[in-house]
Amino acid sequence: MKVKRAPRIQDLVGLLNRSYPPGLAESWDNVGLQVGDPTTELTKVLICLDPSLTALAAARKIGAQAILSHHPLIFRPLKSLTPNEETGRIIFQAIQKNIAVLAVHTNLDRARNGLNDWLAQTLDLQDAVPLAPGDPGGLLKLVVFVPLGHEDRVADAMFDAGAGVLGNYDRCSFRSEGIGSFRAGEETQPFLGEKGVVERAAETRLETIVPRERLPKVLDRMQKAHPYEEVAFDLIPLNNRRPGIGLGRIGRLARPVRLDSFARKVKKILGAVTARQVGDPAGKITKVAVCGGSGASLIGEALRQGADVLVTGDLKYHEARYAEQGGLAVIDAGHFATERLMVNHLSEILNQAAQVSGLGLKFVAFAEETDPFRPV
């Protein structure tokens, strides 16, 4: 749907929520708009890994009215807000320069076509799927009864609002025909039939699937497109897992390679300052698990699914020993290198999404960020 007024921060939030809804984020996380007025107009957004003073300066230099970072600026409740500490300084400057700050963190990590999918693609993994799929639930079946001849209009309205997506397929629905009956009261303006008379109408039972976070918008669009004054519909909770959503990814290489050879490739492709490996350097690996950032919590799951190696960052000593004793190789390429790729990928995806949605927004990748660690 085309946005006819100038885009605002709230339009950016809506654009993000369509592909990376906050409901996908971990319970301990803090995502979305953290600093700024949702009604502020904007034309340009800087995308970065960290919401730093350097990123704020870069946003101001290019005329951006918002920065969208992977790591949240406000992660835990603030006990005070002063410019004497780092978070406070950033918040103060963001407000003074009228630059909004937003975060897309573990919702980006867990989403389909999110950070971990990009990491798997970058490392040439085949048939990659979530390593730790999300919990069942979060999906609803929406059933609505529509008079014959109006089903396409109602269906299109629901699809445009985010319904009908099933994995790599969209605009999915099921339709069956039947007879509906009703009697209109004296205060009504019935689309079909007469007041006070029992009517029977040929109707289509239209069924589709809706993510829970999209439900209010889908219902609103459905009711506006529906010709009836009172719309009959059912909402059925589903226990299905949402395909393609979850933490980490696991896939296969085209052919087996030595661990040390693959580790060098990972370091080079990701541009890591340093890389560490756990396991036999001459060991052959085929099945590869990945998790951008700090993914040591997935060692057990990687072992359970028979991975030969886990590529991640922030590995601690006892975690390395646990993996080693379980027979799982690990390549620690660092937090920065395993997540930095999100800047370019997210910029490209959001520029495309803004164009399709008619939003006059430009997303700019921040290229000047560097890994805080340096080799000795």
Provide the Cα torsion 104, 109, 113, 117; round to 10°.
150
Tens-digit pLDDT profile for residues 250-277: 999 999 999 999 999 999 999 999 999 9
- Cβ neighbours of residue 265 closer than 8 Å, sequence gap 6 or more: 123, 257
| Pair type for strands 44-48 and 66-69 | parallel
The mean pLDDT of the chain is 95
Q: What is the pLDDT of residue 131?
A: 98
Q: What is the pLDDT of residue 4?
A: 66
Q: pLDDT band for position 135 (50/70/90)? A: confident
Q: What is the pLDDT of residue 3?
A: 47
The one-letter code for the residue type at 13 is V
8 Å CB contact between 338 and 321: no
**Mean per-residue pLDDT for 81-87?**
92
Residue range 115-133+247-339, CATH number: 3.40.1390.30
Asked if the model's pLDDT at residue 136 lies above 90, the reply is no
Give backbone dihedrals phi and psi of 132, rounded to 5 degrees, phi first.
Answer: -125, 90
Q: pLDDT band for position 1 (50/70/90)? A: very low
Q: pLDDT band for position 194 (50/70/90)? A: confident
Q: What is the pLDDT of residue 301?
A: 98
Q: What is the pLDDT of residue 5?
A: 78
**Mean per-residue pLDDT for 172-185?**
94
Which of 302, 296, 306, 303 lies closest to 276 in space, CA to CA?
Answer: 296
Instruction: Report domain 139-238's class.
Output: alpha beta
- Cβ neighbours of residue 181 closer than 8 Å, sequence gap 6 or more: 198, 199, 200, 201
8 Å CB contact between 143 and 168: no
Asked if the model's pLDDT at residue 2 lies above 80, the reply is no
9-110+341-365 and 115-133+247-339: identical CATH topology: yes
Q: What is the pLDDT of residue 170?
A: 92
**Mean per-residue pLDDT for 350-365?**
94
Which ranges constitute the DSSP H helices of the chain? 9-19, 53-62, 86-96, 106-110, 115-122, 151-160, 215-225, 259-270, 299-304, 317-326, 335-339, 342-357
Asked if the model's pLDDT at residue 331 lies above 80, the reply is yes
The domain spans of the chain are 9-110+341-365, 115-133+247-339, 139-238
**Mean per-residue pLDDT for 80-98?**
94
Tens-digit pLDDT profile for residues 90-129: 999 999 999 999 999 999 999 999 999 999 999 999 999 9
**Mean per-residue pLDDT for 366-375?**
94
For domain 9-110+341-365, the CATH architecture is: 3-Layer(aba) Sandwich (3.40)
* Six-digit token string for 369: 């960020």
Q: pLDDT band for position 293 (50/70/90)? A: very high
Tens-digit pLDDT profile for residues 15-71: 999 889 998 999 999 999 999 999 999 999 999 999 999 999 999 999 999 999 999
Q: What is the pLDDT of residue 108?
A: 98
- Cβ neighbours of residue 28 closer than 8 Å, sequence gap 6 or more: none
Q: Which residue has the higher pLDDT, 220 or 5?
A: 220
